[in-house]
Amino acid sequence: MREKVIFLEQYRWRRAGQELRRKLGEFADSQCFAREVVKAQEKYLNCLDPELVDRNDEFTMERCFEWFIFDYVLPDGLTIIETFRQNPDLSEREQALLADWAAARISLYEVLKVLPRRGVVLRDLLQKRELKVHDINAAAELQPGTILLMRVLKVGDEYEFSTSGLALPGFCKDILLKKLRRDLRFYARKRNASTRQVLGDYLRERSHIINAIVVEMGFNYTLPHLIDESEEDGYIPPVNDALFDRISARIAQQITEAVLDEYYDRWIDKPVPALEGKTPREACRTAEGRARLEELFRELELVETSRELKGEPHYDLQKLRRKLGLLPAGGNAGQDVLERENFKKPEDYQWPTVTHADVARGVMEDLRVRGYGPGQVQGALHLWHDYCSKVQPSFRKPELWVATVIYAMARLECDHRISQHELARQYGVAPSSISANFRAMCRALDLVAFDKRYSTRKSPLAGLEEADPLLAQILENLKL
């Protein structure tokens, strides 16, 4: 009986924690902090090398927003979460949670053990403690030895991750700890104190710097056999061409296709001098523009054919024609007809309520305006239908879920043109609400990058596990 009481009590803590996260996010996203948000973003992003990180990437901005809530100091000397604690309408349970959360610091963790379908056991490498984190997704994705840069929040008798984190392979632990401890010693000397005395302040004041150090290591440092133990400070040289010689031609081809898919997704909306300054999408609207495009395609095809004959990675430009709505050359036209014949409209699905069907129609209309193809629209409808069938979400504002599904599809298709903030402005909703719904959708459907159920994109990592298991493991870890 006592076990059931404890379980129910912990369930109440989890529900309170979820609701508190929502309230805290909306509070931080309010207009009164708009000026401070700009200052915080500039401070956080200026630490990151623009050659390594896309500053408009939603993962980066989500972590920046979390840092703004917990660590950024406002002009009055308080953080967002400390300011939020002054709200007299908070319940006793919420106040208890906030008391722990306000003191939570980002730290470096090592995964000690994976608890299937429950979570992970971590060792805090800086604060010298062990704890168990409840997170089903982490249990499925992480491996013992992985190094994480995360913030962990106490929720009742359990711990939860604050937001998405950075992950590195285990061999980075020693060199990363060496860098951070050296930075901590320098910080302590400036304050004439011991490292133990200033550790908490260091982790808050330097958290954006620590994040930048880990990001740089994730991009620039590679396999253990490349480490030169004799070099000062354990410097690891950047990845060299020899690493990529180990990847098979098939894997190189898949990576090339993924990279050029993303490149051409952007290219079709950029002005091209050969098209008299029009974008390829604009040129498609006139016969003259289509003729110029075909001339351009013929030149590109000569290059790609030459690469193919030499056995080099190459790109199928028929995919680009489909993106622009042009009839593909050869015998692939029938495939486009087949896609149209098999295309399911929102009314072809069984929806829990009329409101869920309204969201589906809104998603289809928006994606078509953005130039998404039939396969991509079909994937989005399938995604929304699967989520509705599993969760049956209740909501008052369909626009929020239209924005969420479009954002989810953009993430699956690696379409960097669509951002949470742009969608939030378009649909009159909060970016944090889109983010919360997207995370709920990811958890419910176990969404992964290039998800075969919904995405039209091929994963560049397909087959890499057989060709190079160690490299596959590293790339999987960096994906978190």
Set out the domains of the chain in order of their start, with CATH numbers.
1-168 (2.40.50.140), 249-341 (no CATH), 346-445 (1.10.472.10)
Percent of the chain topping pLDDT 90: 35
Q: Which of 99-108, 288-297, 391-400 has the largest mean confidence?
A: 99-108
Task: Give the containing element (helix H, strand E) for 60.
Answer: helix 58-70
pLDDT of residue 13: 93
Pick the range with the lowest mean pLDDT from 58-72, 125-139, 223-237.
223-237
The answer, yes or no, to whether residue 88 has pLDDT greater than 60, is yes
pLDDT of residue 26: 93
pTM above 0.75, yes or no: no
pLDDT of residue 298: 76
* Continuous H helices in 71-172: 80-84, 92-101, 136-141
pLDDT of residue 464: 53
The answer, yes or no, to whether residue 316 has pLDDT greater than 90, is no
More confident residue, 477 or 194: 194
Return the axis-axis angle of helices 207-220 and 195-205, rounded to nearest 10°.
Answer: 80
Report the residue count for the chain.
Answer: 480
Residue tagged 């190094």 (tokens): 147
State the chain's mean pLDDT as an integer: 80
- Amino acid in the structure at residue 227: I
Strand partners, 151: 106
Cβ neighbors of 110 (< 8 A, separation 6 or more) are 122, 123, 125, 145, 146, 147, 148, 170, 173
- pLDDT tens profile 415-474: 777 888 888 888 888 888 898 889 889 889 988 777 888 887 765 555 555 555 655 554
Please state, in angstroms and rounded to a whole number, the distance separating the CA atoms of residues 184 and 312.
48
CB 154 within 8 A of CB 219: no
pLDDT of residue 463: 54
Average confidence (pLDDT) over 12-37:
92
Please state, in angstroms and rounded to a whole number, the distance separating the CA atoms of residues 434 and 388.
16
The answer, yes or no, to whether residue 245 has pLDDT greater than 60, is no
CB atoms within 10 A of CB 461: 18
Pick the range with the lowest mean pLDDT from 96-110, 184-198, 301-315, 420-434.
301-315
More confident residue, 212 or 464: 212
Please state, in angstroms and rounded to a whole number, the distance separating the CA atoms of residues 104 and 129.
14
Average confidence (pLDDT) over 137-161:
90
pLDDT of residue 307: 75
pLDDT of residue 228: 35
The answer, yes or no, to whether residue 394 has pLDDT greater than 60, is yes
Q: pLDDT confidence of 8, banded at 50, 70, 90?
A: confident
Q: pLDDT confidence of 355, banded at 50, 70, 90?
A: very high
Paired tokens of 240: 């060299």
Average confidence (pLDDT) over 288-311:
78
